[in-house]
Amino acid sequence: MLAILGIASATVLLAAQTEPIRPYRPARQVSGTIRLWGHGSPTNHFMGELVSAWQTGFQRHQPGIRFDDRMHGTASAIGALYAGVGDVAILGREILRSELAAFERVKGYRPLGIDIATGSLDVRNFDFALVVFVHKDNPLVQLTLADLDGVFGCEHRRGSANIRTWGQLGLAGEWAGRPIQTYGFALSRGFALFFQDTVMGGSGRWNPGLREYVDVKRPDGTLLDSGQQVLDSLGQDRYGIAVSSLLYATPLVKPLALATDPAGPAYHATKENLISRRYPLTRFITAFVDRPPGAAVDPKVDEFLRYILSREGQDAIVRDGRYLPLSTEAVRDQTLRLQ
C-alpha cells in the first residue's frame, strides 16, 4: 500500500485512523445511470480525475452502472437535484442558505448531505481550510472562536463584545492599546460565508474596519489571488490580523492555533488535524441527494456513496493528493446518515 500511495500520503491517512476503513462490500447488485452534477467547469475539471477514479472502481463491483457526468460547476448542482435531472450533487464549497431554501421550496424538505472528503490543507480550488494569521512579531499564539467573533464580528452570537485592541486579547506593553486591523476575503466569497457561519454563528454583521480583497489580474495577465493579497498586506502591518490560507503564507506572517472554546485545546491547521476534525475551520466536500422523509436513498446512489465512503473510495482521495480523506469515525457517521 505504501508503494502505491507514497510514504508521506499514506502516513497522513493512517495516522488519522484509530482502525482501518472497511473495504466496499456491495449490499446488492444495482444497474442504471447515475447522473452527477457539481464542482467543475468546461476549462477545469477540478474533481474530474478523482470522480473518474471513483467511477472506475465502483464499476468493477457494479458493472451494470453507467454515469452521466454534468460537472459544470457547484452553482448548478442543487438546482439539478430539485429539477429532477440529477441524482448526486457534489459541491466544491458549503451549500448556500439560498440553495437550501430553493430546494425546500420546491420539494418541501431539505436534501440529504453526506460528507465524502475533507477539504485540502493548502490546495487552491480544493476547499482549503481557513487559517488565521498575525504578523510574525505578534506574541499571540492561539485564539478561540469566541475571540475571533469579537475581532471580526459585530453581533457576537458566539462572543460577548467587540474586541478592537490587542490588549483585549491579553497582550501587554506596546501592544495593549494598539487597534486591531482586520484583513480577509471579500464578503461575497464563499470563504467569508463559511467563516461567518462557523465563527460568527451565521451573523452577517462584520467588523466595519475589515479590509476585503478580491482576485485581480496583473499587467501580464496572471492572476493575483485575494488570499495572497491578504497576507502580503498583513506582512506590512505589525498590528493586523487576517483570514487566508497556508497556501499564501510568507515569512512575515504567523498562523495561529485555534480552539473551539476556552476550555478546550487549540489546534494548528495540519493534515492530521483536518482529517480528525480537530481544527475548527476544516472544510468538507459534501454530496447531496434527494431523499424524501421516511424514504430510502435510491439503491444505485446509495451503493455509489457507500463505495466513496469505503477504503477503496478514500484511498482514491489519497492517491489524487488534493483533497484529504475522512477519518474512520467520520466515515462511520456519514454511512449511518444513509440509513
In which residue are the cell numbers 424524501 written? 292
Cβ neighbours of residue 252 closer than 8 Å, sequence gap 6 or more: 135, 136, 231, 234, 235, 236
Is residue 152 within 8 A of residue 199, CB to CB? The reply is: yes
What is d(CA 319, CA 186) in angstroms, rounded to the nearest whole number?
33
Tell me the sheet residues that pair with 143: 258
Q: Does residue 266 have a pLDDT over 80?
A: yes
- pLDDT of amino acid 39: 86
Q: For residue 3, name the pLDDT band (cuts at 50, 70, 90).
A: very low
What is d(CA 155, CA 159) in angstroms, rounded to the nearest whole number?
9
Complete DSSP assignment for 24-49: P--SS---EEEEEEES--SS--TTHH
- pLDDT, tens digit, for every residue of 221-257? 898 999 999 999 999 999 999 999 999 999 999 999 9
Q: For residue 13, name the pLDDT band (cuts at 50, 70, 90).
A: low
Q: For residue 125, name the pLDDT band (cuts at 50, 70, 90).
A: confident
- pLDDT of amino acid 5: 40
- pLDDT of amino acid 8: 54
Statement: the pTM of the whole predicted model exceeds 0.85: yes
What would the grid cell of residue 316 be? 482514491
The DSSP output letter for 96 is: P
- pLDDT, tens digit, for every residue of 288-329? 999 999 999 999 999 999 999 999 999 999 999 999 999 999
HSE (CB half, 13 Å, CA atoms) of 328?
A: 11
Q: Report the percent of the chain where pLDDT is more than 90.
A: 83
- pLDDT of amino acid 10: 44
- pLDDT, tens digit, for every residue of 142-187? 999 999 999 999 999 987 899 999 999 999 999 999 999 999 999 9
Q: Does residue 272 have a pLDDT over 60?
A: yes
- What structural domains and CATH numbers belong to the chain? 2-125+283-337 (3.40.190.10), 131-268 (3.40.190.10)
Cβ neighbours of residue 254 closer than 8 Å, sequence gap 6 or more: 133, 134, 135, 136, 138
Instruction: Classify 119 as helix, strand or coil.
Output: coil
- pLDDT of amino acid 230: 98
Average pLDDT of the residues in 124-141: 96
Distances (CA, A) of 10 to 229, 247, 287: 33, 22, 24
What is d(CA 203, CA 55) in angstroms, rounded to the nearest whole number?
39
Q: What does pLDDT average to over the chain?
A: 92
Q: Does residue 44 have a pLDDT over 80?
A: no
Q: Does residue 258 have a pLDDT over 50?
A: yes
Length of the chain: 339
Q: Report the percent of the chain where pLDDT is more than 70.
A: 94
